[in-house]
Structure 1
Amino acid sequence: MRKRTIAFLGILAAAGAVWAANSSLLAGQSERRPMLIAHRGLGQTYSHVGLGRDTCTADRIYPPEHAYLENTIAGFKAAFEAGADIVEFDVHPTTDGQFAVFHDWTVDCRTEGKGVTREKSLAELKALDVGYGYTADGGKTFPFRGKGVGLMPGLDEVLAAFPDRRFLINIKSDDITEGSLLANVIGAMPAERQKSIMVYGGGKAMQAYKTALPEAVVLGTDRVIPCLLRYAALGWSGHVPADCRNTLFMLPANYAPFAWGFPNRLSERLAANGSTLVVLGDNDGSRHSTGVDDLTTLEKLPARFDGAIWTNRVDRIGPAVIAQ
């Protein structure tokens, strides 16, 4: 009986130690509001119902509530003005050795053009109308047609327009050459400016980028699942696996409360290992990520934590986060 009591007390003590090591109640409340990452700046949002890998999203937008298009200078400016701390955008290499800021692998969905984005020069891409394909009523009306000519920027143009702002750049491939090319562009910038740039994309592209710029914060998409699984297995001890270091630690809002130490213990551990906690919108079981795009989802999150919130509607949640 005495041995059972000792064993029980030992288990209880161990459980208490794990709880204490992972409880944000003991970590205290952060005094800093969460950072806001504006996905593609400020642009039009769309329904995710029945969304496939190659589904055109421009022809399924919700009725427009603002005049901005994703991945444009104007959309980035509006996002920063709404409270974004970081703007995420997508890049493709062009045939003339530059980078175009555009999401889609082809230009067919959003523009009047045809073909693979990276098989065109930047001048060809800038001549297209990036608002051409948007419709909220099945093609009856196209509210942005004719308004997006020349609005596809080059990477250099974006960085010059916002010299003191933070960015998260998405390489849209797993191409080693592309990772090296982007590293050449960012590596030519002053050291302090380089610190304001984070990059994510295919694992091989990220490895090439990281090899060229060892101090950079990168996220290889092939590391996301291993990171989460290893932290789920070991995070109770406070250990941060190698896959989760010097990167972005992305958690859906509906899974986040179950992560060891969420929010403040987790964000502290990640920060000590060069990483940033990023909370996405709820995961519905599909492969498509959502953002914290409405106040209902925002209210599920802690009012204060030392991490970041991923959003497609910084115009909606930015003022609410800043006011907290």
Structure 2
Amino acid sequence: MKKRYIIGAGSAVVIAALYLINASWAATPPETTPQLLSHRGLYQHYRREGLTRDTCTADRILPPTHGYLENTLPSMQAAFDLGADGVEIDVHPTTDGDFVVFHDWTLDCRTDGKGITRQHSMAELKALDIGYGYTADGGKTYPFRGQFKGRMPSLAEVLTAFPDKHILINIKSNDSREADLLDAWLKAHPEAHPERLSVFAGERPTQRLAVLRPDLRPTGKAKLKSCALGYMALGWSGYMPKACRHTTMYLPTNYAWLAWGYPNRLQTRFADAGSYVWLIGDVNKRKGGMPSLNTPEELSKVPKSWRMGIVTDTIEVIGPLSMPPAQ
């Protein structure tokens, strides 16, 4: 009987210690302002049923409610005007040593061009009509055809147009050489202010950038998984796994309760480790791509003390809700 009491008392002490070490209420969140990241800027939404990696989304858009297309300068400006603090863009290297901002691996879906995006020069890509393939009625009408000729931006154009905004660069490959290309490009363009950039990429370029450019807080699916599993296993102690240092973490709101110390202590631990956390949407509800917080109901799940990032696909909805009231 005495042994049972000792074991019970010991267990209670351990539980109490774990609670206090990870108590969110006992931690002060970082003294920062929550950041809102607009995925692709302001863009045309599309039907998501049956999506695969190669699905053309331009020919399944919903009836347009605005005139913006993703990954263009006007769409990014519109996102910032609606309250975004940063935007996510997709990049590909060109055959003449530059980087172009465009989502798809090939040109056939959205543009009047053909072939693999990265197998073209910047001049060739600049000659295309990037609104050519968009239709909401099965090809009966093409509302953006002819309006976006020459509107595919270079990375330099984006970073020059928005010099003080956070830009998340999505490298659309798993080729480690693209990390070297981006590193060389940034060295040649100090006006890009790389300190405000971050990178999402495949495993190989992520690993390479962690060596070349840790200041970009590079991450990818493999590193996210490693950080998540490591933190779930050891985060209770306050220890930050290597995979969680100097990186970017994307935390689904439906699994946030599993993250030790969420929300306040989690934020301080990642901030102290030189990392940043973005809240994203329910991973069980999204088919294709990163889930985001897109409705008022989803936004209401964000704790009031959250001081890091929020990712959205509907900046037109979430942006105004997140803006401070006019004085």
TM-score normalised by L of structure 1:
0.93
Q: Please report how far the alpha carbon of residue 7 of structure 1 lies from its aligned counterpart in structure 2 after TM superposition.
A: 1.6
281-290 vs 53-62, which deviates more? 281-290
15-24 vs 206-215, which deviates more? 206-215
Indicate if the aligned counterparts of 1:126 and 1:151 stay in contact, CA closer than 8 A: yes
2:319 is aligned with 1:318: yes
Q: Please report how far the alpha carbon of residue 32 of structure 1 lies from its aligned counterpart in structure 2 after TM superposition.
A: 4.6
Residue in structure 1 matched with residue 167 of structure 2 by the alignment: 167
Structure-2 separation of matches of 1:139 and 1:187: 44
User: Amino acid of the residue matched to residue 242 of structure 1?
Assistant: K
Structure-2 separation of matches of 1:29 and 1:99: 37
Structure-2 separation of matches of 1:141 and 1:2: 81
Q: Please report how far the alpha carbon of residue 220 of structure 1 lies from its aligned counterpart in structure 2 after TM superposition.
A: 3.3
Q: Please report how far the alpha carbon of residue 189 of structure 1 lies from its aligned counterpart in structure 2 after TM superposition.
A: 4.2
206-215 vs 248-257, which deviates more? 206-215
Q: Please report how far the alpha carbon of residue 31 of structure 1 lies from its aligned counterpart in structure 2 after TM superposition.
A: 6.3
Write out per-residue CA displacement over residues 2-57 of structure 1, whole angstroms, 9 at most, x where no aligned residue: 22222212211211221222222222566654211111111112222211111111
- Aligned partner of residue 24 in structure 1, secondary structure: coil
Structure 1 residues 227 and 97: alpha-carbon distance in aligned structure 2, compared to 1, 3 A threshold: same
User: What pairs up with 1:62-141 in 2 under 5 angstroms?
Assistant: 62-141=62-141
Write out per-residue CA displacement over residues 49-85 of structure 1, whole angstroms, 9 at most, x where no aligned residue: 2111111111222222222111001111111111111
Q: Please report how far the alpha carbon of residue 192 of structure 1 lies from its aligned counterpart in structure 2 after TM superposition.
A: 9.2
Write out per-residue CA displacement over residues 265-316 of structure 1, whole angstroms, 9 at most, x where no aligned residue: 1111111111111111111275532211111111112133122111111121
Residue in structure 1 matched with residue 250 of structure 2 by the alignment: 250
The gaps in structure 2 that reach 5 residues or longer are: none
Indicate if the aligned counterparts of 1:31 and 1:304 stay in contact, CA closer than 8 A: no
User: What pairs up with 1:131-280 in 2 under 5 angstroms?
Assistant: 131-190=131-190, 193-280=193-280
The gaps in structure 1 that reach 5 residues or longer are: none
136-145 vs 170-179, which deviates more? 136-145
Q: Please report how far the alpha carbon of residue 138 of structure 1 lies from its aligned counterpart in structure 2 after TM superposition.
A: 2.3
Size of the alignment, in residue pairs? 324
Structure-1 separation of matches of 2:49 and 2:84: 27
- Aligned partner of residue 25 in structure 1, secondary structure: coil
RMSD: 2.0
2:295 is aligned with 1:297: no
Structure-1 separation of matches of 2:80 and 2:208: 30
Indicate if the aligned counterparts of 2:28 and 2:268 stay in contact, CA closer than 8 A: no
Structure-1 separation of matches of 2:191 and 2:163: 13
TM-score normalised by L of structure 2:
0.93
Structure-2 separation of matches of 1:136 and 1:276: 38
73-82 vs 179-188, which deviates more? 179-188
Indicate if the aligned counterparts of 1:33 and 1:322 stay in contact, CA closer than 8 A: no
